[in-house]
Amino acid sequence: LMVNASTVDFAHLIDDMVEEWLEKADARSIDLGIAREPVSIVGDPTLLRELIANLMDNALRYTPNGGEVSLHCAVADGMLELEISDTGPGIPEDRWEAVFERFYRLPETSLSGSGLGLPIAREIARCHHGSIRISASPRGKGTRVQVSLPLTQ
């Protein structure tokens, strides 16, 4: 991926997309929580928007009606830390790496999808010298995706 880097207001990127997420969440009675600190980062705004959109689309798609999705964005130790968690079916621990492979889909998944969202998200994080990882949601069910990106390249 070619990174066309500039200084990006990351909180503004999130704010730009919130309305679209709220519509999707409201339609299915999903409780959507957004908590973000004002933070600027050196990166490609188009790619960073794609990264956030992929992760939020997944969270909203796999969370059942009446569930919860949260996005938290903060700065720690010179890194932007983005965390998205949901109360969906979760991803088995032995698949946490596999879901980053292109076209991989969990066998028990009945929802439509290309199997490209997480691989693209990982590639975007990597080309910004960052990382992405999956774990179990701290809520006891669901998935947590954590992205760490350096504030400057």
Task: Tell me if 31 is assigned to some domain.
Answer: yes
The answer to the question of residue 51 being in a domain is yes
Residue pLDDT tens, the chain, 153 long: 778 999 999 999 999 999 999 999 999 999 999 999 999 999 999 999 999 999 999 999 999 999 999 999 999 999 999 999 999 998 888 888 888 887 666 656 655 655 677 889 999 999 999 999 999 988 788 999 999 999 986
What's the CA gap between 141 and 87, in Å, rounded? 5
SS3 128: coil
The number of beta carbons lying within 10 Å of the beta carbon of residue 131 is 13
The answer to whether residue 136 sits within a structural domain is yes
In a domain, 102, yes or no: yes
Residue 2 belongs to a domain:
no
Give alpha helix (H) positions in the chain: 10-27, 45-62, 117-127
**Cα–Cα distance, 132 to 81 (Å, whole number):** 10
pLDDT at position 113: 59
Q: Cα Rg for the chain, rounded, in angstroms?
A: 15
Could you give the number of structural domains in the chain?
A: 1
Using the Cα atoms of residue 125, residue 6, residue 152 and residue 143 in order, give the sign of their dihedral.
Answer: negative
Domain with residue 141: its CATH number is 3.30.565.10
1 in any annotated domain? no
| Number of C-beta neighbours around residue 3 at 10 A | 16
In a domain, 47, yes or no: yes
- Whole domain around residue 33: which residue ranges? 7-150
Q: State the Cα–Cα distance between residues 70 and 107, nearest whole angstrom.
A: 25
